[in-house]
Amino acid sequence: MALLKTASIPRDRRSTLRLYAILTVLFFATLATGTVVGGVFIRDAIRQERIEQAEARAAGFAKALKSVLNMTDNVGKALAESFDDGGLEGYDTSVETFLASAPWTKAVVLNRGDVSLVLPQDLSAAMRSLPLPEDGADARKIFGPFTLPNGERILVYRYTFDAGNLELVVGFEAILEAVGLLELEGTTRLSVQTVPEPGPDQLATAGESDLTPEDAIHEDIRVENATWTISVSPHHLTEGNFDWARAFRLAIGLLALAFVAPFIALLLLFRARLRDNINIRRSMMAVDNLSRHLDVALNASNIGLWEHDLETGVQIWDDQILRIYGLEGQSHVQSFQSWRSRLHPEDQERFRQFNWEDAENDNGFLTEYRIITPVGQEKTIRSAGNAYRDADGKRKFVGVNWDVSADKALQEALAEAKARAEEQNVALEDARARMEEIALQDTLTGIPNRRHFEKRLDAAQAGGALPEGMNIVLIDLDGFKTINDTMGHFFGDDVLRYAADTFTQHVGPQDFLARTGGDEFVALMPAESDVEAFAAAVTAAFAKPLRIDGRSCRLGVSLGIATAEDSSDTASDLLIKADLALYEAKNRGRGRTVNYTSNLMAKTFSLKRLADELQEAVENGEITAHYQPIFDVRTSTIVGVEALARWQHPRRGVLEPKAFLDVAEQLGLLHSIDDIVFQKALSILETSREAGMPLPGVSVNISSQRLRDPLLLDRLSSFNLPPDTVHFELLESIPFDRPDSALIKTVSAIRKLGIGIDLDDFGSGYASLVGLTQVRPDRLKIAGQLIAPITGSEESLQIVETIVRIAKTFNIGVICEGVTSTDHFEKLEALGCYLQQGYYFSRPMDEKQFIAFLRARKGND
């Protein structure tokens, strides 16, 4: 201003413009300088404010992270201690409760002795594949990070106790999400290392990885051997770093913006403040979310939270602790003295000496005590706490309480149960020894039983093979079932005791006799024993009538003997041989003694080969049918045809049923063979009709196995057979003399389907007149064994005549099979038997031959 006063004021226009220009330049220079200086001041102020916000945010995250880690650590210690010496009862419930309350914990692994439990079980394989060091091989408590097969990173907390260890598997990203760090990962980074100098695979990081170390705010948290580092970067100013060159260039336009610039600056400042407020709200929401997570976890696990002020002695209890102590609705503000007054009298003295300073120096505490609620209920409480400093620097303790009364009661009950079980084990061992002794003896006869025999047999071949010359004698009582059924089971028991006494009298001192079940006995006799004399003696003893308890009966014995010829004979082989010998003895008429020979084995192998071939024959279509016509001798016309089963054997040619039906019955193949012949019979009906020579009907045999098939009636219904076209020939050996027999009901149902019923081989088997009245067949076929002798035996002729009369009495048709000569034909015709079948008329023919036979008869007609 002094300069202006002393300066000469130009009078000319040029001087005025120059002065105005100078003043204008000075004005804008001053304005630009003020703007730059003000902008720098404002920028620095905003930057400092954001740095302070970042520091507060880092401290908040560190506090929340430390709280979660300490909680996880305390609960892990508590779980490890609870399962140190106790049983595994309650383990699943405790672990599942903890996993529900701490979602950042992915799994809990309990290793105790040979037991290794992983919950949840679907992570079992992944947990066991982690490269964790053996217990005691590494002093670290926290291991990791590790990466699971699904890409998730985890840390493993290990808590070692005397009986083993417990491992908590903590998800790295999950714990950051619980703290709220992942919501601000754009300006925040967290890293954790469990070794001093981590390699690429030993350092886990999350969040912004490009933070400038000198600009970021760092907060370190040390938990055991793990170091957690939280780095928070303050937000950059919207306009970026201050550019002096740009500011100088913009100074030229400040004249036009002289009035607009303050508004723009104000808007920019407002926008920055708005962003700061948004960030503050986000931080508060993250802290609020973390608080809600903790509340949910604590409520779900029935864990109460408390805080103790070391300076004032004031304690703050949450609602859960008030519920545990039975103080619902009372003040949350309590004191250490009020807490101690609620302890069980026996525990109060222990806590009179409690010192918070010592607990702080020991990095927290974990203890257990009893309380008495206002209603007099006794509870056992487990408590854990850790020291910390709040935002104001005050020293405090924070901890948790949870009710373990049920666990304590369970442990006491288990201890009592264990004591009782040990007492019972002693008693059971004594009983077992007695039962073992009883278990080796047959209670009915008093001689050794099957189990004792098997033990003796195992001892005899302890060297790997039975001694040469060792004999196994299988003994079976002939006719015992008949005696048991007719004279009663009590008398049958007396017979078994008599038999055991008789056998015992004839065995030598080195022999071993046992009852293996029912009426079966076995003797194990060394080479020096006289086996033949024993067999002869017991056979003779049972050859005459027996008198037992004042009652007489007849009983025989069959014996099968097998002798070990060399070291290749095992006990199993010798038993099989003795069983084959016994089977042969019974086949020879019972009351026999048979020694095993190689021929018996060859016979068995032959039957086995026949059975295998028959199985293949049914599967390969080798079973077929041959057809034998039935004639009405009065008109010489064919009134029907019988379909007979045949086996087209690839080597032996055509086999009749007597060569394979017994084996088929043993294998359960009669059902399949019947079905094949039935299908062939229906085929011959269709073939003859198409050839212009329709048959009046066809007869097929049906076995009792087929009659018992529950699906038979449904299958027959599906064919829609014309009435009286098909006849089923029932074997006369099937017992039809019981009116409630299921077979009678089946036969009646078959007749309703329009299928005729013939009784085959009448007079050769089981049939009775009562059975005949029950079945009421349409026709009966007199067996060929009765027809054959009528040409030379008047008695046989009379028997056939009687059967014919009986049939006429019941209005049943008669077919005579086995007619082989003119004499047969004439004598049967004289008796009124007009339906005849046999070699005299035609042999059984295959389908091709039978159709040709029909054509030849038609041509002759």
Average pLDDT score over residue span 301-310: 82
DSSP-based three-state secondary structure for 363: coil
- Classify residue 743: in a domain, yes or no: yes
Task: Using the predicted structure, report yes or no on whether residue 12 has a pLDDT greater than 80.
Answer: no
> For the ranges 95-99, 522-526, 706-710, which has the lowest average pLDDT?
95-99
The structure tokens listed for 721 are: 């057979």
* Stretch (H or E) spanning 256: none
Confidence of residue 5 (pLDDT cuts 50, 70, 90): very low
| Residue 462 pLDDT class (50, 70, 90 cuts) | confident
- Domain membership of residue 363 (yes or no) is yes
Instruction: Give the pLDDT confidence score for residue 638 in this predicted structure.
Output: 93
User: If DSSP codes are grouped into helix, strand and coil, which group holds residue 212?
Assistant: coil
106 lies in some domain: yes
Spatial contact of 850 and 842, defined as CB atoms under 8 Å apart: no
Three state DSSP letters for 278-328 = HHHHHHHHHHHHHHHHHHHHHHHCCEEEEEEECCCCEEEECHHHHHHCCCC
pLDDT exceeds cutoff 80 at 633: yes
Q: Copy the structure tokens of residue 160.
A: 């070692």
Q: Do 489 and 588 lie in a common domain?
A: yes
Task: Work out the end-to-end distance of the chain between its first and last CA atoms, rounded to an integer number of angstroms.
Answer: 160
Q: Which amino acid is at 381?
A: I
pLDDT at 694: 92
CATH label of the domain that carries residue 365: 3.30.450.20
The pLDDT of residue 244: 39
Query: Taking every pair of C-alpha atoms in the chain, what is the biggest distance, in angstroms?
Result: 182
Q: What is the dihedral of CA 676, 680, 682, 686, to 10 degrees?
A: 150
Query: What share of the chain in percent tops pLDDT 90?
Result: 23
Q: Which of 125-134, 236-245, 560-569, 809-818 has the lowest mean pLDDT?
A: 236-245
Same domain? For 103 and 243 the reply is yes
In this predicted structure, the answer to whether residue 855 has a pLDDT above a threshold of 80 is yes
The whole-number pLDDT of residue 156 equals 86
Q: What is the pLDDT of residue 736?
A: 63
Identify the top-confidence range among 88-97, 164-173, 383-392, 694-703: 694-703
pLDDT at 225 over 60: yes
Total of domains in the chain: 4
Query: Is residue 238 predicted with pLDDT exceeding 80?
Result: no
At residue 834 the predicted structure's pLDDT band, cuts being 50, 70 and 90, is very high
Q: Lowest-confidence range among 293-297, 385-389, 590-594? A: 293-297
Same domain, 517 and 650: no
pLDDT band at 2 (very low <50, low <70, confident <90, very high): very low
Helix 91-101, helix 13-82: angle, nearest 10: 170
3-state SS of the chain: helix, strand, coil percent to 5?
50, 25, 30
Q: Are residues 376 and 462 in the same domain?
A: no
By percentage, how much of the chain surpasses pLDDT 70?
A: 82
Distance CA 480, CA 477 (A): 6
Q: How far apart are CA 280 and CA 225, in angstroms?
A: 33
Concatenated DSSP letters of 619-686: HHT-EEEEEEEEEETTTTEEEEEEEEEEEEETTTEEE-GGGTHHHHHHHT-HHHHHHHHHHHHHHHHH
Can you give the pLDDT at residue 7? 37
Q: Is residue 466 part of a domain?
A: yes
Omega prior to 545 cis, within 30 of 0: no
pLDDT at res. 249 = 53
Return left, alpha or beta for 584; rule: phi > 0 is left, psi -120 to 50 is alpha, else beta: alpha
Q: Mean pLDDT, to the nearest integer, of 102-128? A: 79
Token digits of residue 631: 């004639």
What would the DSSP string read from start to end of 806-839? HHHHTT-EEEEE---SHHHHHHHHHTT--EEEST
Is residue 77's pLDDT more than 50?
yes
CA torsion through residues 169, 171, 177, 181, sign: positive
Q: What is the model's pLDDT at position 695? A: 92
Contact 221, 65 (CB under 8 A): yes
Task: Say whether pLDDT at 762 is over 60.
Answer: yes
Judged against a pLDDT cut of 60, whether residue 796 lies above it is answered with yes
Mean pLDDT, rounded, for 785-807: 91
Tell whether 8 is covered by a domain.
no
DSSP symbol at 464: S
Going by their DSSP bridges, the two strands 698-702 and 637-649 should be labelled as parallel
Q: Identify the burial level of 355 via C-beta atoms within 10 angstroms of its C-beta, where 0-12 means exposed, 13-18 middle and 19 or more buried.
A: exposed
Count of helices and strands (H, E) across the chain: 28, 31
For the segment 447-462, the average pLDDT, to the nearest whole number, is 88
| Distances in whole angstroms, Cα of residue 401 to Cα of each of 25, 368, 427 | 76, 9, 44
d(CA 787, CA 818): 6
Distance CA(557)–CA(541), nearest Å, equals 9
Write the pLDDT tens digit of every residue in 554-586. Answer: 888 999 999 988 777 788 888 988 988 888 888
Q: Which domain holds residue 376?
A: 302-403
- 428 HSE (CA, 13 A, CB side): 6
- Give CA–CA dist 432/439, Å, rounded: 10
Long-range contacts of 111-119 (CB under 8 A, 24+ apart): 111/135, 111/164, 111/165, 111/166, 111/167, 112/83, 112/88, 112/163, 112/164, 113/163, 113/164, 115/88, 115/164, 117/88, 117/91, 119/92, 119/95
pTM as predicted: 0.43
Q: Please check whether residue 791 lies inside any domain of the structure.
A: yes
Q: Tell me how far the alpha carbon of residue 407 is from its chain's centroid.
A: 31
- Find tokens 């004979």 and name the residue: 569
Q: CA Rg, the chain, in Å?
A: 53
Q: Are residues 173 and 247 in the same domain?
A: yes
DSSP summary character for residue 343: B
Mean predicted lDDT score pLDDT of the chain: 80
Domain of residue 627, CATH code: 3.20.20.450
Are residue 633 and residue 591 in the same domain, yes or no?
no
Which pairs from 216-219 meet CB under 8 Å and 24+ separation? 216/54, 216/189, 217/51, 217/54, 217/55, 217/58, 218/58, 219/58, 219/59, 219/61, 219/62
Specify the range with the lowest mean pLDDT, choosing from 161-175, 251-265, 399-413, 833-847: 251-265
* More confident: 673 or 31: 673
Specify the higher pLDDT residue, 775 or 490.
490
Pick 825 or 774 by higher pLDDT: 825
Higher pLDDT, 295 or 76: 76
Strands, sheet with 378-389, edge to edge from the N-terminal-most edge strand = 333-335, 314-317, 303-309, 395-403, 378-389, 365-372
Q: What is the pLDDT of residue 18?
A: 65
Give the helix/strand (H/E) hosting 268: helix 261-300
Residue 517, beta-bridge partner list: 520
The amino acid sitting at 197 is: E
Q: Are residues 652 and 702 in the same domain?
A: yes
Instruction: Give the strand pairing for 333-335 and 512-517.
Output: unpaired
Residue 836 lies in a domain: yes
Determine how β-strand 726-731 pairs with β-strand 756-762.
parallel
User: Do residues 368 and 472 share a domain?
Assistant: no
> Closest by alpha carbon to 656, among 670, 668, 645?
645
Residue 225 host element (H or E):
none
Domain harbouring 551, CATH code: 3.30.70.270
Looking at the DSSP assignment, which residues form a beta bridge with residue 471? 525, 563
CATH number of the domain to which 168 belongs: 3.30.450
Work out the pLDDT band at 763, boundaries 50, 70, 90: confident
Q: Does the pLDDT value for residue 642 go beyond 70?
A: yes
Question: CA torsion, points 103, 104, 107, 108, in degrees to nearest 10?
Answer: -90
Residue 441 bridge partners (DSSP): 448
Residues 100 and 146 in one domain: yes
- Looking up tokens 């945010």 gives 57
Q: Which amino acid is at 422?
A: E
389 & 513 share domain: no
Note whether 648 and 698 are same-domain residues. Answer: yes
CB distance 153 to 192 below 8 Å: no
Phi, psi of 272 (to 5 degrees): -60, -45
Over residues 668-705, the pLDDT tens digits come to 888 889 999 999 999 999 999 998 999 999 999 988 87
Residue 107 CB-half CA count within 13 A: 23
Confidence of residue 21 (pLDDT cuts 50, 70, 90): low
Looking at the structure, tell me whether residues 581 and 708 fall in a common domain.
no
In a domain, 190, yes or no: no
